[in-house]
Amino acid sequence: MGTEQDTLPSAGVGGSGAAATSGGIAAGEKGQAAGGNIYNIDTLNVDSNPEALRWLVMKGIVPLMDMVGAPGQPWDLDFRGKEHISTLRRKLLRIKELKHPKLITVRGTLFPCALLSPGWWERDDKTKSSEPEWHNGLQKWLFYGFDLWGPSWDFSWSLKGSGTTQEQPFFIAQLGDGDEANSLPVVIPFEKAQRLRQMFAEGWGGLEVTIVGLLGHRRQFPKRGPANLDLVGGLLDYCIWLDEDTGDHRISIMRDKTDIYSGYLWKCVTPKTWFEQKPCLCIDDVYFLWEHTNFANRDAVKYNLDSLTRKEEYIQSMHGDLVLLQKSSGAVEGTPSWSTERFYDLLAGKNFDV
């Protein structure tokens, strides 16, 4: 265990009942999202489109909306020692149900991204869907290879974007152990997130921390997401939730060095001809280009970014010019052509005009 370097205290801004979202706006409302995107959860309309459950969104992104408000009472506020995130994850996989939200102290690596989906080894997929009409075997592999190992997206942080106003009251991060797939979501209120943003930017991109907050299950939070999404399954049904006004809730920065924190660098692209000619785009009209890297090592990141460029050039040789639709984080070059909202719709399997 390391020594504490800094503690993020309660800042007294925002209440425990404040709603927030992964896109940077209140759930069910329109507002300004990170990077200038507009997102409204109601536009997904999964109630009228059951197949909207079929891809990444059913496992990670939109369901996080359910866990940004305070979990229901009663809360178990007794401390019972400290947990490392790896031990906590193992325990959560073995229990049937967390009876009440529990005040907990957890040690791990904090990274400003959230999982799009859990790793294949933690899934309990109950929804079967039709096979997309992939244009070629490479496109099919790039999607499934991307989805299987738990990719992440910094959709609420956008460290090189805006996302710096009180219109975005909560940020979604992950507390992990060695890899982004070995993590739990963390809901961080505005003032704490603003101090963390600067620390993330000054270092390798993540921090070794000890977090004190409420561990809750999706059933214990007010329902905010589309009804058909229900439970996601596995550990993404849990999160660690922090309140700005609760003095016990804090993030303590540790002095320990992070040797390895692995995860995806990725781009979602489409051929320019498809983008201009197709009336709508679906999951089988895009390519997911990805590299698995060690975020804690600058040379590894530089090497894998170069590899990502080579892969993009390969797809260009097949289709000509490409359009960047979205990307994993500010570490990847390029300005996305799509808003957060449109990318959500793609992941949900929803067709829409371009």
CATH number of the domain encompassing residue 209: 2.40.50.140
Residue 262 has pLDDT above 90, yes or no: yes
Average pLDDT over residues 195-212: 93
Average pLDDT over residues 265-287: 93
Q: Are 235 and 122 in contact (CB under 8 A)?
A: yes
Average pLDDT over residues 98-127: 83
Residues in a beta bridge with 264: 292
Segment 147-202, tens digit of pLDDT:
888 899 888 886 544 444 455 678 889 999 999 999 999 999 888 998 898 899 89
Cis (ω within 30 of 0) for the bond into 74? Answer: yes
How many helices (H) does the chain have, and how many strands (E)?
6, 13
> 25 and 70 share a domain?
yes
Question: What pLDDT is stored for residue 114 in this prediction?
Answer: 86
> 332 and 235 share a domain?
no
> 236 and 304 share a domain?
no
Question: What pLDDT is stored for residue 353 in this prediction?
Answer: 43
Q: Which domain holds residue 11?
A: 4-120+152-254
> 115 and 98 share a domain?
yes
Q: Is residue 142 part of a domain?
A: no
Tell me the pairing of strands 170-176 and 152-153.
Answer: unpaired
Q: Are 153 and 113 in contact (CB under 8 A)?
A: yes
Q: Is residue 314 part of a domain?
A: yes
Residue 129 has pLDDT above 80, yes or no: no
Q: Is residue 353 part of a domain?
A: no
Q: What pTM did the predictor assign?
A: 0.74
> 89 and 220 share a domain?
yes
Higher pLDDT, residue 93 or 317:
317
Q: Is residue 139 part of a domain?
A: no
Q: Tell me phi and psi for residue 42, to 5 degrees.
A: -65, -20
Residue at a domain's end among 213, 233, 254: 254
Q: Is residue 136 part of a domain?
A: no
Residue at a domain's end among 219, 234, 254: 254
> 88 and 218 share a domain?
yes
Residue 118 has pLDDT above 90, yes or no: no
> Lowest mean pLDDT: which of 3-7, 137-141, 301-305?
3-7
> 204 and 335 share a domain?
no
Q: Is 208 exposed, middle or buried (0-12, 13-18, 19+ CB in 10 A)?
A: buried
Question: What pLDDT is stored for residue 342 in this prediction?
Answer: 82
Number of structural domains in the chain: 2
Average pLDDT over residues 267-280: 93
Element (H, E) at 144: helix 137-148
% of the chain with per-residue pLDDT over 90: 40
> 242 and 297 share a domain?
no
> 235 and 285 share a domain?
no
Question: What pLDDT is stored for residue 268 in this prediction?
Answer: 96
Q: Is residue 354 part of a domain?
A: no
Q: Is residue 110 part of a domain?
A: yes
* Pair of tokens at residue 288: 């997911």
Q: Is residue 134 part of a domain?
A: no
> 187 and 71 share a domain?
yes
Average pLDDT over residues 218-228: 61
Tell me the torsion sign for CA atoms 199, 105, 120, 131.
negative
> 216 and 167 share a domain?
yes
> 42 and 188 share a domain?
yes
